[in-house]
Amino acid sequence: MFKTIANAWKMPDIRKKILFTLLMLLVYRIGAYIPVPGVNVEFIANQVADYDVLGFLNLFSGGALGNMTIFALGIVPYINASIIMNLLTVAIPKLERMAKEGDDGRKKIASITRYLGVILGLVQAIGILLGFGSQAVQNPDNPFDYITIIICLTAGTALIMWIGERITEKGIGNGISLLIFISIISRVPAMIQDIITKVELGTITFWSVLIVAALAFVIILGITFVDLGERRIPVQYAKRVVGRKMYGGQSTHIPMKVNQSGVMPLIFAVTILMLPGMIGQFWPESGFYQWYLQYAGPDTWIYAVVYALLILFFSYFYSQIAFNPVDVSKNLQQNGGFIPGIRPGKPTSDYLAKILSRITLFGAIFLAVVAAVPTFVTGLTGVASVFGATSLLIMVNVALETTKQLEAQMMMRHYKGFLN
């Protein structure tokens, strides 16, 4: 990874993209420290520290929610909008046709997703402010303070989406994932300081910290191994004579990744699981919230089972989006390619679908097992949100994906130089 970054830095055009990305990330981090006017920061910080769901939202916002800054909502509204649009794309034929129209169709869907993200950001801003109650506002009798807070939070969400898209278009790519990555990384210094304080006070032992660090190292190795793993399907192209030239005849392969969907199943699963707790916290004395805490909260077996099932579902859902066996089979047939021993057409698509199902099952089970690391890690460190398996999965996957983006851009630059 460090070698790839060093090589990319030597190329002027890619260096400009890296500097632009760093500038956008700096703007994102500065926004995480600009407070929203008219809020009671001390009260909100105490509420965030007391509730696990708000603590997780605080992690995804890089600590902005705890300080109630303009980026307090983080990237969660955009993630929810992406989930809804991906599900609707499969369910609504018009959106499905739009997705297959190429760049124009994808731009239209991206535009709809942005508007939906802003709407969800507005709803979430209103919900969080009402959930905190009048104590969260310095002057609760002034309705304009409520309007100002809601507008600032919603505008912050829109600005975060714009920053992520600029990184994707003009930076090194992978913009939204990089924002999540930098949000989690920004919490590491506070986490380390918290662990050191607990060790000094005797709340936890030094050996328990070493055990957690060793566990995190093993998880990182496993994530890297699975993320880089792929099944290579051999493909043979038939020889064709066009005019006086002969084309084809070469052998190649189709790479099918074990983890086709990357980190998105985890992000989507966690986002959905946060919703019941977030809604329940608006009415903390309600029977629903009490039942949720007792039977379906983060430390219960129901939560772990639902979490694993959601990871399985989104793994299969995204693998079908990332790799469509029917389209791959049609492209092979149109270009004179075939898999040895498999007839072109439907037999090829069925064969690819069968292999995709098997390797996706392994990748999904791995993600579910790693994400369901025993809860004793929470009691061991007290900062499970960073040392937790979900955070490690996100950080490692984003780091690997960003490295691949840089390698792809360097390779593309070499090809352009050769062609020019």
Where in the chain are the domains?
1-186, 187-387
Q: Provide the phi-psi class of 256: left if phi over 0, else alpha when psi is between -120 and 50, else beta.
A: beta
Q: Which two tokens stand for residue 316?
A: 């299969």
Per-residue pLDDT of the chain (420 residues; tens, 9 = 90+): 667 777 777 777 888 888 998 999 999 989 888 888 888 888 888 877 766 667 667 777 777 787 888 888 888 888 888 878 877 887 788 887 887 777 788 788 888 888 999 999 898 888 888 777 778 888 888 888 888 889 999 999 999 999 988 988 888 878 888 888 888 888 778 777 877 887 777 777 777 777 777 777 887 888 788 877 888 888 887 766 566 665 556 777 888 888 777 767 877 787 787 777 767 766 767 777 777 777 777 667 787 788 888 888 888 887 877 777 888 888 887 777 888 888 888 888 888 888 888 888 888 888 877 776 655 555 454 544 445 666 777 788 788 878 877 777 777 665 544 444
Residue 309, number of CB atoms within 10 A of its CB: 13
Check: CB of residue 395 under 8 Å from CB of residue 185. Answer: yes
3-state secondary structure 60-114: HCCCHHHHCECCCCCCHHHHHHHHHHHHHHHHCHHHHHHHCCCHHHHHHHHHHHH
Which pLDDT does position 154 carry in this prediction?
92
Whether 1-186 and 187-387 share one fold: the answer is: yes
d(CA 186, CA 42): 21
Which pLDDT does position 403 carry in this prediction?
81
| Cross-strand partners of 235 | 252
Architecture of domain 187-387: Orthogonal Bundle (1.10)
Which pLDDT does position 385 carry in this prediction?
47
d(CA 311, CA 225): 19
Output the CA–CA distances (angstroms, integers) from residue 8 to 13, 172, 221, in the order listed.
9, 10, 25
Which pLDDT does position 200 carry in this prediction?
79
Helices (H), 372-388: 376-381, 384-387
Instruction: Give pTM, 2 decimals.
Output: 0.76
Check: CB of residue 48 under 8 Å from CB of residue 202. Answer: no
Strands 240-242 and 251-257 turn out to be unpaired
d(CA 315, CA 357): 10
Helices (H), 133-232: 143-170, 175-185, 188-201, 206-228
CATH of range 1-186; options 3.40.50.2000, 3.40.190.10, 1.10.3370.10, 3.40.50.10860: 1.10.3370.10
Strands 245-247 and 240-242 turn out to be antiparallel
Residue 137, classed as helix, strand or coil, is strand
Output the CA–CA distances (angstroms, integers) from residue 396 to 2, 170, 202, 409, in the order listed.
14, 23, 31, 20
Check: CB of residue 357 under 8 Å from CB of residue 256. Answer: no
Check: CB of residue 256 under 8 Å from CB of residue 355. Answer: yes
d(CA 128, CA 160): 18
Check: CB of residue 234 under 8 Å from CB of residue 340. Answer: yes
Triad 273, 275, 278: Cα angle to 5°: 120
Triad 278, 279, 282: Cα angle to 5°: 95
Which pLDDT does position 119 carry in this prediction?
92
- Within 8 A by CB and 6+ apart from 173, the residues are 167, 402, 405, 409
